[in-house]
Amino acid sequence: MSSWFKVHESHRIPLSDGNSIPLLGLGTYGDPRTTPKGTARDCVKLAIDVGYRHFDGALVYFNEHEVGQAIREKIADGTVRREDIFYCGKLWNTFHPPELVRPALERTLKALKLDYVDLYIIELPMAFKPGNAFYPKDQDGNYIYHHTDLCATWEALEACKDAGLVKSLGVSNFNRRQLELLLNKPGLKHKPVSNQVECHPYFTQPKLLEYCRQHDIVIVGYCPIGSSRDASWVNLKCPPLLDDEVLVSIGKKYNKSSAQVALRFNIQRGVVVIPKSFNPERIKHNFQIFDFSLTEEEMKAIEALNKNIRFVELLMWSDHPEYPFHDEY
């Protein structure tokens, strides 16, 4: 294990504001059109029984009420206390204007029926037009973008933290320039503690990881074992990560799967991972990564797999003047 971060017995690492974050979380996104009602609730309850304490959700996933119900039921039956659970919510792209920030967070809290979230992050550094539609389009079917002042949005988030509605503040899909905008903001009150980005052995983010380490920002990696092959948002030209021979052969040595090796690789370098799964067996399987560790040579071999390939291309932003913003480090 690298000595630059300290791992608690509960598999948590510290955040720069004095709070801590579990290294492994469960991503709770499910396509609302195809995911049966109750799935998120059942899977979060199972995950808590398995040992997960970190849940990554969002208002725009349309299932925060189920996730909140699961958490509250497991608190009620004595399995966990509220302070054992770490919930991350996200500020969606239509809520960047400062006056919309707190109402958006309050919608998440109302859906969860919780008093606070542990982490609240700006989901993307660009904005859509504010309004009732989460994905606003013009009559030609093009997305309607909106000017965003990230520093003003951040000040509104700082006020939410000061009001006790959120414990920690972070960002997502930010590159170095966008992080610097916040870090260099005059009168910055609360630093971003985390940056949630795509991160896995084919996209290891070495420069961004180093920059974030220097500034005490934890990287939270989404798609840590690759992604579902959903053509609407996934680059299907990407080779399937879990078939990689290096991951498979290292896994054989430890009697682990390539997915477990990919997850272990990231947590061993201090990157939090949030694999999404609504499959009970996979939820259990992904948690079995704390009973082995990779050698320095194995870590280097996995780092060498980096192809700078991202699975999630965020094509809804492809007409935005800053696209592809996330390819600048």
Residue 88's nearest CA partner among 10, 16, 167 is: 167
Return d(Cα 176, Cα 114) in angstroms, integer.
33
Give the H or E element holding residue 272. strand 272-273
Average pLDDT over residues 158-179: 97
User: Residues 124, 127, 132, 135: is their CA dihedral positive or negative?
Assistant: negative
Lowest mean pLDDT across 62-71, 236-245, 312-321: 312-321
Can you tell me which residue has the tokens 């997960």? 52
Residue from 61, 120, 202, 211 carrying the catalytic annotation = 61
Domain ranges (residues) in the chain: 22-317
In DSSP terms, 89 is beta-bridged to 120
Structure tokens at 303: 């780092």
Query: What's residue 227's pLDDT?
Result: 74
**Cα separation, 217 vs 121, whole angstroms:** 13
Contacts 24+ apart (CB under 8 A), 1-5: 1/268, 1/293, 2/268, 2/269, 2/270, 4/213, 4/270, 5/270
| The overall pTM is greater than 0.85 | yes
pLDDT tens figures, 94-149: 999 999 999 999 999 999 999 999 999 999 999 999 999 999 999 999 999 999 99
146 is in an annotated binding site: yes
pLDDT digits (tens, 9 = 90+) for 39-92: 999 999 999 999 999 999 999 999 999 999 999 999 999 999 999 999 999 999
Does residue 3 register a pLDDT over 80? no
Q: Pairing mode, if any, of strands 20-22 and 12-14?
A: antiparallel
Answer yes or no: 222 catalytic: no
Give the fold, CATH level 3, of 22-317: TIM Barrel (3.20.20)
The residue-averaged pLDDT of 230-241 equals 70
pLDDT at residue 323, rounded to an integer: 65
pLDDT at position 234 over 80: no
